[in-house]
């Protein structure tokens, strides 16, 4: 039975929303957005969502979109009739003197519908409504929406399922005049008789072409992919790189590489040439992260998760299999390290030092990983009063 009749006022709208939310199959909180998709030969090359909404954002409009779009479980191209009905029901908000970014996004999607880009590609309105972030994406528009959620800070890395995403995305030549199928770039150039500059060939574009988060500095926007999560106060230097589904949770200095899946917590400095172990290939299924106020010195590497106030010496790559020398007496009283030592020491023997794989020390805080200059042994020692300092406040006051 229809619940949307002739909405003439905001009170009418609120009453309709109440009825929709009382429906038995109403899914509850949802993530949603309206955007513009670029298509070539029927294939979606990219989708831009000017606004993405979380479970607490504009819940009335979310309910209306869910109802009018016939309760979709996957994203799809919006029919003209769907947009018309939504805009009609939202008329009471037209002249209320307030900003309505979602209504503006819906209008933009409609205005772009049917347009042709300079390279002959079609623009169409798209709509995504997600009721469960744990389910895998269903098509390319869904993937783009989830990447937008990450870069808009609506969900944190690992907070949304991205399984199978690469099989849903096209390999695109991203040009100064818009995206084109990489396999068709020469044909498009000949057909349009125009030379275009190709900035990259990839399935995932630069984040800044779609989303610019507040309070960040990015010296080279080509080094940050859509789907990166950059916390307020983050600075990414020219050689710094941040992959999708990865990023920083607060103020951070990024001069090295944050690989897919890696998260860097507030107050941490990732030095020049630093490598962090991602989860895209190579069989690694350990999620790498740092705690707060860590220092990964120049050309170091991190292959285990660490806690707060940890320092990794320049040039040292700490992998899960790296042999680490641990002093029983230096760490006396530290429950985590004592448990590692006790579990490694043969029964009946008391050793001053034991050697363990670095993976056993995952999550350690207040530690320094270093290579002993005399013996060449990699060891971990308590931080003690050795404090590396802190981030330059002026650089992160964005």
Catalytically active residues, by annotation: 255
The C-alpha torsion from 17 through 22 and 23 to 28, rounded to 10°, is 80
- The length of the chain in residues reads 398
Contact 76, 126 (CB under 8 A): yes
Q: DSSP per residue over 224-263, as a string? A: BBTT-B--TTEEE-TT-EE-TT-EESSSEEE-SEE-TT-E
Strands (E) in 255-331, as ranges, are 257-258, 263-264, 268-270, 275-276, 295-296, 301-302, 311-312, 317-318, 323-327
Residues 6+ apart with CB under 8 A from 180: 40, 45, 119, 121, 172, 173, 188, 196
Burial (CB < 10 A; 0-12, 13-18, 19+), residue 238, is: exposed
Is residue 49 within 8 Å of 128, Cβ to Cβ? yes
Local structure of residue 30 (DSSP, 8 states) = -
Please give the angle made by the CA atoms of 243, 218 and 395, to the nearest 5 degrees: 120
d(CA 262, CA 286): 10
């Amino acid at each position: 039975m229809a619940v949307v009749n002739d909405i003439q006022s905001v009170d009418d709208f609120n009453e309709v929303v109440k009825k929709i939310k009382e429906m038995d199959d109403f899914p509850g909180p949802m993530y949603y957005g309206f955007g513009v998709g670029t298509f070539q030969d029927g294939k979606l090359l990219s989708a831009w969502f000017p606004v993405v909404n979380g479970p607490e954002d504009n819940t009335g409009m979310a309910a209306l979109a869910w109802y009018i779009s016939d309760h979709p479980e996957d994203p799809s191209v919006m029919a003209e009739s769907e947009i018309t009905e939504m805009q009609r029901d939202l008329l009471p908000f037209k002249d209320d003197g307030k900003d309505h970014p979602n209504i503006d996004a819906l209008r933009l999607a409609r205005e772009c519908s049917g347009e042709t880009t300079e390279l002959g590609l079609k623009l169409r309105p798209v709509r995504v409504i997600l009721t469960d972030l744990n389910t895998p994406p269903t098509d390319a528009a869904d993937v783009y929406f989830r990447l937008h959620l990450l870069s808009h800070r609506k969900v944190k890395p690992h907070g949304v399922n991205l399984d199978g995403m690469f099989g849903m995305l096209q390999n695109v030549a991203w040009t100064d005049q818009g995206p084109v199928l990489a396999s068709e770039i020469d044909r498009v150039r000949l057909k349009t008789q125009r030379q275009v500059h190709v900035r990259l060939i990839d399935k995932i574009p630069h984040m800044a072409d779609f989303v610019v988060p507040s309070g960040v500095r990015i010296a080279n926007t080509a080094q940050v992919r859509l789907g990166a999560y950059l916390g307020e106060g983050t600075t990414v230097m020219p050689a710094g790189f941040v992959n999708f589904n990865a990023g920083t949770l607060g103020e951070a200095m990024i001069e090295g590489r944050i690989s897919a899946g890696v998260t860097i917590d507030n107050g941490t400095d990732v030095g020049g040439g630093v490598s962090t172990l991602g989860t895209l290939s190579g069989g690694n299924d350990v999620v790498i992260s740092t705690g707060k106020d860590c220092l990964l010195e120049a050309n170091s590497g991190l292959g285990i998760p660490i806690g707060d106030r940890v320092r990794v010496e320049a040039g040292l790559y700490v992998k899960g299999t790296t042999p680490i020398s641990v002093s029983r007496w230096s760490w006396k009283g530290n429950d985590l390290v004592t448990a590692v030592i006790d579990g490694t020491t043969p029964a009946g023997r008391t050793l001053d030092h034991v050697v363990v794989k670095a993976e056993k020390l995952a999550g350690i805080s207040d530690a320094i990983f270093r290579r002993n200059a005399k013996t060449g042994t990699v060891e971990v020692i308590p931080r003690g009063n050795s404090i590396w300092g802190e981030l330059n406040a002026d650089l992160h006051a964005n």
